[in-house]
Chains A and B, each alone.
Chain A
Amino acid sequence: MRITRYFATCLLLVASAARAQQPDTIRSRSKADSIAKAVRDSVELMNALGAAVADTTQRPTVPLRPQGGSTNPRLLPDFSAVGDLVGDLSPKGSTQPDHSRLGVREVELSVQAVVDPYFRGDVFLGISDLEKISIEQAFLTTTSLPNQLELKIGRFLLPFGKQNLTHRHDLHAIEYPYVLQKLLSDDGLKGTGLWGSRVFAPFGFFQEIQLTAIDRISPATDGLTTAEDVNKSLGGLGFSARLRNYVDVSEAANVELSFSAMTGKRDQPLDATYTTLVKGGSNSQFVPRDVNATIARQSTFGVDFTYRWRPLQQGLYESFILQSEVMHQRNERNPALPVAECPFGAGTCGVPAYAGPARDYTGAYVFARYQTGQRRFIGARYDYVQNPETNGRTLNAGSVYLEWFPSEFTKLMAGYEGLKSADATLSNRLLLQAVFSMGPHKPHPF
């Protein structure tokens, strides 16, 4: 690719030079003038910046801020926006949830600031045609706990596996790997609760333990009603743990091997709608309720591995990432079922039967990305997952990506995916993505 770029540059230069050497015409003179002006402009820009310094012998006083507006702009939080636009040119129609060919998948607005001497705050709002406005993340982070301890309170991307912690627009592919989509969530599994973590290095390399207690491990499923709330008892809360292990292999290469686990209860369907008696009302009397779901425990375990290579001197132009995650999800097969009360309500009479997952699921992906130039990358991913939506029948996908960054603040990507779904049909997907970022967006975790 670099050779191609080199030759393309040469050709353009030769062509430009050849044009410039033609007999004087208005067009060629005009072209040469405009190019010369562009160069003069770039130097003048630098000179103007330099000349703009009022007095270089004085120690700077107040950092420069935009004029006007707020009464105290130095205390304003950082505001930023990220636009995530997706085009779907798949030959057999759009494969997007809203069936759009060209759409704004999401706009993310963020507000980030240090709140006080003890906390910083981060708020991320997601705006999309499908979900309207949603609170993607909103959390306080402690800044002054001793012993490398850190607590977060609020809603956050759950520290489970590697890619789940990355915002979707910042992935090196257009969508999350299928194992995350099918076993965790389409757009990143979030939890609301408490996150505690500690960094330590008893063996001389970086380790971090991340523990969370969250309201529930998955949002309530549309259309499912349970006799009791999933989190009615504390045992219904979700809990997760992740152990990160990071080692520098050399100056240019490093590996991370981490282990994750989470458990909690969630709603799972029954075979029909039944009427059961639940305690309710101000007198805690039994009242009938139509239910079509029960509560079952679900536990997920994961291992993720990342190898990174980036030579320090030529790191602007060359890098490589190899990443893989394996996840295994265990589902409770025989949860407690509600007692159907035939005389009440409109529910089916009979003994409720569990219609939730009757098996465990496993999935994995392998992803690699190579940097071919200062702003160009190519990537490929293989996905495998036993799809819970089709009772565990296997979904396989292979995809390739071309990624181009016109600058640090824009990304253009094209991806092709061959998808072999549960019924063994092969479908082709052609996806395009444009991402732009405005404002001081905080860097994403390593």
Chain B
Amino acid sequence: MIRRIHILLLAAALVYAPRVASAQLRVVTSTTDLYDIAKAVGGNKITATHIGEGYQDPHFIEAKPSFVLQLRSADVWAFVGLDLEIGWMPLLLEGARNTRIRQGGSGYLDVSTVIPVLDRPQGNIDRSMGDVHAGGNPHYWLDPQNGRRIARLFKTKFTQLDPTNSSAYDANARAFEARLNAAEKGWQADLAAIKGKPVVAWHTSWRYFAEYNGMNIVAFMEPKPGVPPSPSHLYGVIQTVKRTGAKAIIMEPFYDRKVADLVSKQTGIKILILPPSVGGIPGAVPDYFSLMRYDMSQLANAVR
């Protein structure tokens, strides 16, 4: 009897094991940038989907039940962290009822843990400072060096969960970095044109971009993160633009440009709608490399 049970168990294991081995990792990411890098590293060994779109403000995504369906069978949930998704992620993770991707689960991947974070406040903070992120500025993917860190993190996570394909993940991650290195060489002239040039940014989302390319943010359209500009603040921005000779207002496609138009009309400053994420301008920036290249070249052209 015991022998029969052993035979049955062995047969079941043989039938089941190849399915596990051949199954693709199911990866869901909060943003299109993480999605694109995950796809680059995972290749055909994973299936990937994303919650937010590149032309959508990632702070304010609706926790739609249809996202729950994506998450309930996910092996990996990769998110930006630093409270970027605080307004909707808890609902989705709770609704998904998937222990693999809950905090502490093997597939819970807070990407910010490998990022040298900017703007991390020291000491006490409160809401009078606007939508300040207690853990620091979460818009880190706009620095290619962080793109590399994200790719390495995905390689490590995918290898941990699917060791049989570790060589593929390793090769893909190396290929991603090699491609990024090559792309960087291509925009060196743009970097030189941008460095030190005064610009105005709408939101703090361009801090990492500035850290990378050396542009000098002389004013923010938002008086505090997430707070819409008041008339008196705009007047001050206009004075700053006139004083510094700032060349461009950089803003995301999901902000209302009427207020920026007002500043532009008063000062002649250009308005530059830059996609902050992959897919931010449909068709124009389909992947991470084209996103960085597009933003860099557009900005360089504006400030030259």
Residue numbers of A with Cβ under 8 A of B are: 2, 6, 9-10, 12-13, 16-17, 20, 32, 35-36, 38-40, 42-43, 45-46, 49-50, 52-53, 55-60, 63-64, 66-67, 114, 117, 141, 143-145, 148-150, 199, 201, 205-206, 208, 244, 246, 248, 251, 254, 256, 308, 310, 312-317, 374-375, 407-409, 440, 442-443, 445-446
Contact = CB atoms under 8 A, between A and B. Distances in A.
Nearest to A11: B231
Contact of A60 (B113, B232, B258): B113
A350 B94 CA distance: 57
Contacts of A208: 65
Given A43-B218, A313-B253, 10 more contacts: A9-B259, A16-B231, A38-B223, A42-B233, A43-B220, A49-B119, A49-B137, A248-B64, A312-B55, A316-B60
A53 B55 contact: no
B97 interface: yes
Contacts of B240: 36, 39
B65 A52 contact: no
Interface string B131-163: 110111100000000000000000000000000
Contacts of B64: 246, 248, 254, 446
B11 interface: no
A35 B121 contact: no
29 contacts: A2-B258, A9-B234, A13-B262, A13-B266, A17-B235, A36-B236, A39-B233, A39-B237, A42-B223, A43-B217, A46-B207, A49-B119, A49-B120, A52-B121, A53-B116, A55-B116, A60-B116, A60-B117, A60-B120, A60-B135, A67-B123, A148-B97, A199-B97, A201-B69, A206-B69, A315-B254, A316-B60, A408-B131, A446-B64
Interface stretch (B14-22, B38-46, B83-91): B83-91
B204 interface: yes
B301 interface: no
> Taking each of A42, A52, A148, A256, which has the highest tally of chain B beta carbons within 10 Å of its own beta carbon?
A42
B195 interface: no
Contact of A42 (B104, B113, B224, B238): B224
Interface size on B, as a range, is: 35 or more
B211 to A, nearest CB: 8
A209 B212 CA distance: 50
Contacts of B62: 308, 310, 315, 446
Given A42-B219, A50-B207, A143 B259 contact: no
A36 B218 CA distance: 12
A316 B57 contact: yes
Contact of B117 (A9, A56, A114, A145): A56
A201 B65 CA distance: 11
Interface in B30-68: 53, 55-57, 60, 62-66, 68
B56 A315 contact: yes
Nearest to A55: B116
Contacts of A408: 87, 131, 226
A248 B135 contact: no
B166 interface: no
Closest 4 CB pairs of A and B: A39-B236, A12-B231, A49-B119, A206-B65
Nearest to A57: B116
Nearest to A66: B124
A38 B137 contact: no
A122 B164 CA distance: 41
A336 B259 CA distance: 70
Contact of A59 (B56, B104, B114): B114
A53 B118 contact: yes
Contacts of A310: 62
Contact of B120 (A64, A67, A313, A443): A64
B99 interface: yes
A317 B254 CA distance: 9
Contacts of A67: 123
A190 B127 CA distance: 32
Contacts of A10: 262
B95 interface: yes
B127 to A, nearest CB: 6
A375 B42 CA distance: 41
B228 interface: yes
Contacts of A251: 53
Contacts of B256: 2, 314, 316-317, 374
Contacts of B174: none
A310 B56 CA distance: 11
Nearest to B122: A52
Contacts of A52: 119-122
Interface in B266-304: 266
Interface string B225-264: 0111001111111111000000000000111101100100
A239 to B, nearest CB: 23
B129 interface: yes
B72 interface: yes
B56 A53 contact: no
Nearest to B110: A63
Contacts of A143: 99, 102
A201 B69 CA distance: 8
B277 to A, nearest CB: 12
Q: Could you say which of A13, A32, A52 has the most chain B C-beta atoms within 10 Å of its C-beta?
A: A13
Contact of A56 (B116, B132, B223): B116
Interface in B99-119: 99, 102-104, 112-119
Given A52-B121, A53-B118, A53-B119, A254 B66 contact: yes
A377 to B, nearest CB: 14
B236 A46 contact: no
Contacts of A17: 235, 266
Contacts of A313: 55-56, 253-254
A40 to B, nearest CB: 8
Contacts of A374: 228, 256
A94 B95 CA distance: 41
A59 to B, nearest CB: 6
B66 A246 contact: yes
A314 B60 CA distance: 11
A206 B119 contact: no
A256 B68 CA distance: 15
Contact of A446 (B65, B222, B238): B65
Nearest to B236: A39
B278 to A, nearest CB: 14
B139 to A, nearest CB: 12
